[in-house]
């Protein structure tokens, strides 16, 4: 084989192999340059070691040498036979590539004062434990990382779903409807970091006639941007009366009065960040009804300064009197505060037990009297 400088590199792609200087174990030729490019499948690294090494010694390996490179970086430069202050030999050293490729260059100059037998090297592919390499700054998996030969895979804690990127853990949070008149909503795991890559929609739906009031917790932490309004993560409130938000950052939105019986809390998170999230308490207050008028000799229960939707008022009469409704005597009579802020009916009058029932004309007079009041 005719040896020249800068020949075509020799490619090695097996999972293991041997490479050696020309003519090994006989002395290697002068003015020779050979390069081996070694590659193994993704998910593996290359480990290289020398079982024999005997090259011409020189200051800083200026004459003959073996250079090992990967991704444009020199991993090692060897020459000579024994370690000196200016010469390095591989001895028992194992060189490991950062990824799945490595290059070895052998070079000899125009002369050798002695005969040197060259080198023999061995390489093998070794599995990369990607999970061990991940750090807090460069997480491969949101929750759990599982290594296998040639690669790794991610999984999530119970209640989470693996995103299509196969590393982010998200949640499905758009199916719940809250119908109680009060409750608490929060980002998942609050006050621990909320899930990434999630679209959450919480619908609050109470009876018509109630108005929803939302109170955000003072501890509020949603990823934001110093110059753009909520481009990453945000929370919005949608109601019949309008849309509130988006909200993000560390300042709590405080109190939001929706003036609606239906509201939707929308929360969006992107695929990065470790913010702590939010929590809110909602309450439903009903439409206000005016304080009902009390007929003469009537008693009202309960007596309040304000009455709201769904409140009830019970009317009775003082001793010696009875409620008269449609020519029938009643012991009590109930009216209800309705969704539109009006009472369900007027209370009937109280009539003395000794008096005769009112005639139709008297009832009409009584109603006319009340209307003038």
- Position 137 scores a pLDDT of 54
Over the stretch 285-321, which tens digit does the pLDDT of each residue have? 888 899 999 999 999 999 999 998 889 999 999 999 9
Residues of the chain with pLDDT under 50: 1-4, 362-367, 369-370, 372-373
E strand or H helix at 216:
strand 210-216
Whether the Cβ atoms of residue 199 and residue 246 lie closer than 8 Å to each other = no
Instruction: Determine the Cα–Cα distance for residues 54 and 191; give it in Å rounded to an integer.
Output: 63
**pTM greater than 0.75:** no
Residues with Cβ within 8 Å of residue 62, at least 6 apart in sequence: none
- Position 236 scores a pLDDT of 96
Whether the Cβ atoms of residue 186 and residue 235 lie closer than 8 Å to each other = no
What angle is formed at CA 32 by the lines to CA 29 and CA 33, rounded to 5 degrees?
Answer: 145
Q: Which two tokens stand for residue 167?
A: 């590393």
Structural domains of the chain ordered from first start: 10-127 (2.60.120.290), 131-169 (2.10.25.10), 174-286 (2.60.120.290), 288-372 (2.10.70.10)
- Position 340 scores a pLDDT of 85
- Position 15 scores a pLDDT of 95
Provide the total of helices (H) and of strands (E) in the chain, helices listed first. Answer: 2, 30
- Position 349 scores a pLDDT of 94
What angle is formed at CA 165 by the lines to CA 163 and CA 168, rounded to 5 degrees?
Answer: 50
Instruction: Determine the Cα–Cα distance for residues 35 and 109; give it in Å rounded to an integer.
Output: 15
- Position 155 scores a pLDDT of 94
Over the stretch 222-237, which tens digit does the pLDDT of each residue have? 999 989 999 999 999 9
- Position 215 scores a pLDDT of 97
Torsion angle of the four alpha carbons 363, 364, 368, 373, in this order, in degrees rounded to the nearest 10: 10
What angle is formed at CA 295 by the lines to CA 294 and CA 299, rounded to 5 degrees?
Answer: 60
Whether the Cβ atoms of residue 156 and residue 248 lie closer than 8 Å to each other = no
């Amino acid at each position: 084989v005719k040896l020249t400088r800068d020949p075509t590199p020799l490619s090695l792609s097996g999972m293991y192999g041997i490479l050696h200087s020309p003519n090994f174990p006989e002395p290697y030729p002068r003015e020779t340059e050979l390069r081996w490019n070694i590659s193994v499948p993704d998910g593996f690294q290359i480990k290289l070691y020398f079982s024999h090494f005997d090259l011409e010694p020189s200051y800083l390996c200026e004459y003959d040498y073996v250079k090992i490179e990967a991704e444009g970086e020199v991993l090692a430069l060897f020459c000579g036979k024994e370690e000196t202050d200016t010469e390095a030999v591989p001895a028992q050293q194992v060189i490991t590539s950062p990824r799945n490729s490595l290059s070895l260059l052998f070079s000899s100059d125009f002369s050798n004062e002695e005969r040197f037998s060259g080198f023999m090297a061995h390489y093998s592919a070794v599995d990369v434990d990607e999970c061990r390499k991940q750090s807090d700054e460069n997480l491969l998996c949101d929750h759990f990382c599982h290594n296998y030969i040639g690669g790794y895979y991610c999984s999530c804690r119970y209640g989470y779903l693996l995103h299509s990127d196969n590393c982010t853990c998200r949640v499905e949070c758009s199916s719940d409807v809250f119908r109680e008149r009060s409750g608490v909503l929060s980002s998942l795991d609050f006050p621990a970091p909320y899930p990434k890559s999630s679209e959450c929609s919480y619908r609050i739906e109470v009876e018509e006639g109630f108005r929803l009031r939302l109170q955000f917790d003072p501890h509020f932490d949603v990823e934001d941007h110093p110059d753009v309004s909520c481009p990453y993560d945000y929370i919005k409130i949608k109601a019949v009366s309008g849309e509130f938000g988006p909200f993000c950052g560390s300042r709590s939105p405080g109190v939001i009065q929706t003036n609606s019986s239906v509201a939707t809390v929308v929360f969006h998170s992107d695929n990065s960040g470790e913010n702590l999230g939010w929590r809110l308490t909602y309450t439903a207050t009903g439409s206000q009804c005016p304080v009902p008028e009390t007929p003469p000799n009537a008693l009202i229960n309960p007596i309040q300064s304000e009455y709201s939707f769904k409140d009830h008022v019970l009317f009775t009469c003082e001793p010696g009197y009875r409620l008269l409704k449609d020519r029938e005597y009643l012991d009590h009579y109930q009216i209800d505060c309705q969704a539109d802020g009006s009472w369900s009916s007027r209370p009937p009058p109280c009539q003395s037990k000794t008096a005769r029932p009112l005639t139709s004309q008297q009832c009409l007079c009584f109603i006319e009297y009340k209307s003038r009041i």
